[in-house]
């Protein structure tokens, strides 16, 4: 049976980003959406709750029987510190293993360097869900450069979180399939005679030649007619 991952992105619209006229909720929902796509591609069942309260999300996560609960946030402190922080309920919990699995992929990707996995049982969403919880603070949005990086890398962040989750569950990460670009390729080849070459074109060359010959006959006729008319015009009565 497929493992169930419950994504719970931040709803904190009041947490403004230092860059891009956006906020934590908007960015984290985008990251969660990218992560959802990646997880489904890798064979997980996913819930991605972007609207309900924390309490409602935890209840839903429990009722659904999530195997992993993943709040997705970005951080703020003193406009200087940057780095990935992941919280879990206790060192003994499976959440600690999951947090580390995600940290190992996500932390090297993010620009910040002050990074760690820590126990933080005071957060509602580390304490209440039945499922092991890895509570992600991707990086710090109160630093302009970092906020810009987060906004420009929501897909990569979502993929990295997915990769970490795959590692935690011991599942193979499935790479995204590059989009198919439509192309029109014509192979002409080389031929000894025009006839052979034209046969490959379905006789287009012969038809064009015939049309050209006909056009030149028409042109000749028009020239003759013009000559006749000019002569006719200078006849005086």
Binding site for Zn ion (CB under 5 A): 10, 12, 73
Least distance (Å) between residue 133 CB and Zn ion: 14
Q: Which is nearer to Zn ion, 99 or 166 (CB)?
A: 99
Least distance (Å) between residue 14 CB and Zn ion: 10
Is 37 within 8 Å of 167 (Cβ atoms)?
A: no
Q: Which is nearer to Zn ion, 57 or 73 (CB)?
A: 73
Residue 52, SS3?
coil
Least distance (Å) between residue 158 CB and Zn ion: 17
> Which residue's C-beta sits nearest to Zn ion?
73
Q: Which is nearer to Zn ion, 116 or 216 (CB)?
A: 116
Is 117 within 8 Å of 96 (Cβ atoms)?
A: yes
Least distance (Å) between residue 73 CB and Zn ion: 3
Helix segments in the chain, DSSP class H: 24-41, 54-64, 94-109, 124-127, 144-152, 154-169, 194-200, 204-233
Q: Which is nearer to Zn ion, 3 or 10 (CB)?
A: 10
**CA 152 to CA 20: how far, in whole Å?**
10
């Amino acid at each position: 049976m497929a493992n169930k991952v419950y994504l719970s992105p931040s709803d904190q619209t009041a947490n403004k980003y230092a860059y891009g006229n956006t906020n934590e909720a908007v960015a984290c929902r985008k990251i969660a959406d990218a992560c959802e796509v990646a997880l489904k591609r890798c064979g997980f069942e996913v819930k991605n709750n972007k609207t309900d309260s924390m309490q409602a999300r935890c209840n839903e996560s429990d009722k659904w029987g999530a195997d992993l609960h993943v709040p997705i946030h970005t951080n703020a402190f003193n406009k200087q510190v940057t780095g990935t922080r992941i919280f879990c309920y206790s060192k003994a919990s499976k959440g600690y293993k999951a947090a580390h699995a995600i940290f190992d992929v996500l932390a090297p990707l993010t620009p910040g360097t002050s990074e760690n996995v820590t126990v933080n049982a005071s957060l509602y969403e580390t304490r209440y869900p039945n499922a092991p919880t890895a509570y992600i603070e991707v990086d710090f949005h109160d630093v302009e450069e970092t906020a810009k990086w987060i906004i420009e890398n929501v897909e990569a962040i979502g993929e990295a979180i997915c990769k970490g989750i795959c590692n935690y569950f011991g599942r193979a990460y499935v790479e995204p399939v590059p989009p198919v670009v439509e192309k029109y390729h014509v192979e002409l080849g080389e031929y000894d005679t025009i006839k052979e070459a034209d046969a490959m074109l379905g006789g287009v060359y012969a038809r064009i030649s015939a049309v050209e010959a006909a056009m030149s006959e028409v042109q000749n006729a028009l020239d003759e007619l013009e000559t006749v008319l000019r002569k006719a015009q200078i006849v005086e009565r």
